[in-house]
Amino acid sequence: MQEDKERFYIKVTNDWYVFELCNLFLYRYSLILIESKNYISDNFLVRQLYYPFRLWNGRINKKVRSVFLTFTNGIFHLREYEFTDVNHYNSLRLIKNKKYIIHEETFNHEVLSEIIDKTKVVEEPEKIPFPQADSFERVINLCELLNQKDFLPKEEITQNYDFDSRQTDYYSNAGKYLDLIETGRDSVTNQIGCFLTSKGKQLFGLNLADRQKEFVKLIVSHIAFKDTLKLSLENGELPTKEVVVEIMKRSKLVNMDSETTYNRRASTITGWINWILSQIEE
């Protein structure tokens, strides 16, 4: 093995591999290796955990623990993995999975009811499709990345999120639906991509607690989401997809031309309402 400042080289079978190590924490009985990302993705490259594990396993008289950390919207999501066979890259197994949230203020039923009562309903945008982006966490995370980088090419969004180009359009359109994201061409690179609107920039100037409330206000300013949320609170559970579709039909949504379209978009309403309900502290 060879070391070069922040880069490490390790030989696996007959090949040499280079990698960078994010975080290393040494404790009395263990060495914890953490690979961290500031974006949400269903997948990650196993080698990001495996090569650091191979580097340190056997070199230190402590248990080597491999952790994958994502941080978005105030939530630390940690997953601890183990390699059941040290010599096999694909022997990865999840053993622990925890989320930690740092709350600045309480978000309870009273706060939510006040938001619902005071938020005025807006007209549905005619030129922007009704969202088909079931994970509101990803909508937020995309906005976070745009706040950090100002502009993201669509190709970079597709790669980071393990999306195809169609999914990238779905999530950028969801941001446009809430007036948080705009799409256009970068004046320097001439690439097509996304950037935050002035409303989006203002929102990310707020503290986390107020930002969460603003996200909720933006969602419930659309009648189909508002009525679904109110029904969920009244009944103590989310309505069925069939009921959500009925709410959508009476909400006079634009560009909804088939039963299939209603059913697909109903999943987005359910996903976003689930996100709102998950913010409530009992």
Mean pLDDT for each 10-residue chunk of the chain (282 residues)? Answer: 41 45 81 83 74 84 90 87 88 91 80 96 94 95 92 88 85 97 91 95 93 97 98 96 97 90 96 95 68
Q: Quick one: pLDDT at residue 43? A: 64
228 lies in the same domain as 173? yes
Domain-terminating residue out of 60, 84, 101: 101
Give residue 192's domain range.
Answer: 109-278
Q: Quick one: pLDDT at residue 170? A: 95
> How much is the pTM?
0.80
- Residue 53: CB atoms within 10 A of its CB come to 20
In angstroms, rounded to a whole number, what is the distance separating the alpha carbons of residues 70 and 31? 19
Q: Quick one: pLDDT at residue 21? A: 57
168 lies in the same domain as 58? no
Give yes or no for a contact between 185 and 140, defined as CB atoms under 8 angstroms apart: no
Domain-terminating residue out of 101, 130, 165: 101
90 lies in the same domain as 133? no
Q: Which of 115, 177, 116, 112 is CA-nearest to residue 142?
A: 177
158 lies in the same domain as 133? yes
Q: Which of 139, 154, 131 is CA-nearest to residue 39?
A: 139
Domain-terminating residue out of 78, 101, 124: 101
62 lies in the same domain as 114? no
140 lies in the same domain as 73? no
In angstroms, rounded to a whole number, what is the distance separating the alpha carbons of residues 213 and 211? 5
267 lies in the same domain as 129? yes
78 lies in the same domain as 192? no
Number of domains, the chain = 2
154 lies in the same domain as 59? no
32 lies in the same domain as 150? no
Q: What share of the chain is helix, strand, coil (3-state, %, to 5)?
A: 40, 25, 35
Q: Quick one: pLDDT at residue 42? A: 63
| Residue 203: CATH number of its domain | 1.10.10.10
119 lies in the same domain as 259? yes
- If you compute the radius of gyration of the chain from its CA atoms, what whole number of angstroms results? 22
Q: Quick one: pLDDT at residue 8? A: 46
Q: Quick one: pLDDT at residue 281? A: 75
139 lies in the same domain as 250? yes
